[in-house]
Structure 1
Amino acid sequence: MNIAPAIHQEKVTQTDLARGDGWSVSDVICRCGPEDKPYEEQHGPSVIAAVLSGNFVYRSDRGSTLMAAGSLMLGNAGACYSCGHEHGAGDRCLAFHFTPGFLEDVAGGLPGLRWIDFPQHRLPPMATLTPLFAAAETALLEEDAPALEELALRMAGAALRLSHADSPPPDRARDIGRIAAAARLIEEHYTEPLTIADIAARVGLSRYHFLRLFSATMGMTPYQYLLNRRLRAAARTLRADRRSVLDAALSSGFGDLSEFTRRFRRTFGQTPASYRSKR
C-alpha cells in the first residue's frame, strides 16, 4: 500500500519510486514560482523530504523557514503547512512517508529517544547529512528500490536523532529572501570559484553581515555550504557516472586533488576511490 498522500497541484509532479512495510518514497518536482500563491495543505503520514535542488519557504505551526538544497523538511502526521516560492521558481525533493509503527521501530534503536514527533520542522544543510544526500541522488538516478529502503531507515534515524537536539531560533522573514537567493546562486554556480565577496555583492549585503546571516539561517557558513554541494556532486559522479577520481574532483569545482581527497574522506569516511568501487 502506498502511504504517500496524492498531490493535486497542477505545477507539482509526484512519482512513486518504492514502498515497503510502513514507508514509501516519492520523487516530487515542483515548478511553482513567485506568481503562485501558497495555500494551506495537511501532511498525511509523517514526512521527511530531502531537498535536492531549488529552495522554498516552508510554513508550519513552528514558523517560517527557508528550505534550501541539502535541507530536510520535517512534517508530523496531520500537521498543517504551506510552501511558497516567492524567492525563486522550482524545487525537487525526495519525500519519505512513514507510519507511526515504522518510526517507533527506528526510535527504539536510538538511546534516550522517547517521542516520534519531530520537534523541529527543518534540519538545515550540515556535513552530517551530506552522505545521505549523495546516497539519495544516486538511488534516485538508478531507481534502486533496495537502496531506497535502506535510505528510508537512515533518513528516519538521522531526522529523529538530529531534530531532538536543541532547537535553533526561527528565521526572520525579512532575511529569508536574501539567503534564498544566495543558496540558489551557490547551487547553480558551485563549479565556479565563488567567494564570499561575490555572493554578498549579488544579494546586496556587506561581507560580514552576509556571513553572519547565512550562518544563522543555514546552520553552516557559505563556504561549508559550497563544499558540501561540491562533495555531493562529486559523489554522484563517482558512483553513477563511474568517472575517475580526478574527473570527479575537477568537474565538481575542486582545483586540487589532494584537497578533494582529504575533504571527501573526512565527510564520507572513505577515499573517493573506495566510494567509487562500491555499489
Structure 2
Amino acid sequence: MALKIEVLASGPGWSVRDVLCDYGPHDHSFVEQHAETAISPVAQGSFQYRTQVGAATLVPGSLLLGNAGSYFECGHEHAQGDRCLAFHFAPAFFESIAAGVPGARRTAFVHAALPPTNELIGLLADAEVARDQRDGAALEEIATRLAGAVLMMTADEVATIRSPSAHDQRRITRVVRRIDAQPDGGVRLNALARDAAMSPYHFLRTFRQVTGMTPHQYVLHMRLHRAARRLRESSDPISRIAFKAGFDDLATFNRRFRRLIGTTPSTYRAIG
C-alpha cells in the first residue's frame, strides 16, 4: 500500500483527507511541499516530521502543522505506519477564520506540531467518528472548529527549541507504541523507564518533551479519547464503556471525563 490518501470531504477553501501510510524504518523519506495550510491530527502510529520551522516526533493525538508553501519531510525511523486525518485550508480561508479568533495576530505556524492535549479529546474523537461515517457535513464543521482551536492555542506562541536526541525519541516512541497497544494496562513510571533503558527522571522529562504529557496523563488521554469515540459510535451502557476504557469504577470515569472534556459522558453522548 505504501501511502493511501482518500478525500473525505471538501468545499470552498477547505478539504479533509484520510491518510494511511505503511512506510517503515527501511523506507527512504522524501521532501514534499504543503500546497495549503495543514492541520493533521495523528490517529494511529508515530513518525518524525521535519519542516522549515522545526521538527517533532508525532504520536496519537499530536497535531501536525504546516504552512502553505513550506517544504517538509516525514520519516518512520522508529516504527512502521501511521494514520492521519489531514485538514487543508486555502490561505485566504484560513485567514478568514483567524480574523474571528481573539489574539490570533498571525496565521503562520512557528512550531512543527502541537502535542496531545486534553482540551481536544472531544473534537478529535468527533473527527474520527465523522471520518468513519463519511459525514461530510460534520467534517466541514469540525474543520472550522479545529482551525479555530489551533489558532487560539498558538495565538501567544513564541518559537522555542525542544530537541531530545534521536536516540531518546526512538526509545520514547517504542514506549508510546506499547501504551497505545494496551491503554488499559497498568502504567508505572519505573517500569516504563526500565523498558526505555532510561533513568526515571530522564524518561519522564523526555517523554513530556516528545508527547507534551507525562506518561500517566498520556494514558488517561488515550483512554478518554477511546471512550469518547465509543460514546459517539455505540449504544453500549456508559458503565461498560468506562470498564472497557480501563476505569475500575463509573464514578472515577465520570469525574475524569468531566474534568478533562468539560461535560459528563451522558451529556456528551446526548449532544453528539
The TM-score bracket by the shorter chain reads: over 0.9
Instruction: Measure the CA separation in 2 of the matches of 1:242 and 1:21.
Output: 35
Deviations 1:96-124, CA, capped at 9 Å, x for gaps: 00011211111111123222111211000
Match of 2:185 in 1: 192
Deviation, 1:158, is: 1.6
- Counterpart of 1:241 in structure 2 is 234
Cα distance in structure 1, aligned partners of 2:190 and 2:235: 35
Give the equivalent residue in structure 2 for 1:170: 162
What's the counterpart of residue 124 of structure 1? 115
CA distance in structure 2 between the partners assigned to 1:191 and 1:19 by the alignment:
36
Residue 158 of structure 1 pairs with residue 149 of structure 2: yes
CA–CA distance in structure 2, aligned partners of residues 203 and 65 of structure 1: 19
Aligned counterpart for 2:264 among listed residues 251, 257, 271: 271
3-state secondary structure, aligned to 2:15:
strand
Deviations 1:242-272 (A, max 9, x none): 2111111111111121111001111222111
Is 1:133 equivalent to 2:124 in the alignment?
yes
Structure 2 stretches lacking a partner, 5+ long = none
Distance 1:221 1:111, change over 3 A: same
Could you state the TM-score of these two structures normalised by the residue count of structure 1?
0.93
Task: Write the distance in 2 (CA, Å) between the matches of 1:276 and 1:110.
Answer: 27
| Aligned residues with identical type, % of pairs | 43
Residue 50 (structure 1) aligned with residue 24 (structure 2): no
TM-score (norm: length of structure 2): 0.95
Deviation at 1:126, TM superposition (A): 1.3
Using the TM superposition, give the Cα deviation of residue 168 of structure 1 relative to its aligned residue in structure 2, in angstroms. Answer: 4.2
1:39 aligns with 2:19: no
Structure 1 vs Structure 2 CA RMSD: 1.4
Question: Which contiguous aligned blocks of 4+ residues in structure 1 show a shift greater than 4 angstroms?
Answer: none
Q: Give, as a single letter, the amino acid of the residue that structure 2 aligns with 1:40.
A: V
SS in 2 for 1:83: strand
> Structure 1 residue 276: deviation in Å?
1.8
Q: Is 1:131–1:267's contact at 8 Å kept on the other side of the alignment? A: no
For residues 27-81 of structure 1, the C-alpha deviation after alignment (integer angstroms, 9 at most, x for no partner) is 0000001110111111111111010010000011223210111000000011111
Whole-angstrom distance in 1 between the partners of 2:250 and 2:199? 32
Whether the aligned pair in 2 keeps the contact of 1:242 and 1:276 (CA below 8 Å) is no
1:110 lines up with 2:101 in the alignment? yes
Where does the alignment leave 5 or more consecutive residues of structure 1 unmatched?
Answer: 1-9
2: CA distance, partners of 1:42 / 1:115: 21
How far apart are the structure 2 equivalents of 1:242 and 1:93?
26
- Seen in structure 2, the aligned counterparts of structure 1 residues 263 and 166 have a Cα distance that, compared at 3 Å, is farther
Q: For residues 69 and 165 of structure 2, what CA distance do their matches in structure 1 show?
A: 25
CA distance in 1, matches of 2:130, 2:158: 31
User: AA paired with 1:269?
Assistant: G
Q: 1:250 aligns with which of 243, 248, 253?
A: 243
Could you list the per-position Cα deviations for residues 177-228 of structure 1 after superposition, in whole angstroms to 9, with x for gaps in the alignment? 1121121111111021222222222211122221111112222111111101
Matches within 5 A, 1:65-144: 65-144=56-135
Alignment partner, residue 7 of structure 1:
none
The answer to whether the 8 A contact 2:164-2:209 is kept is: no
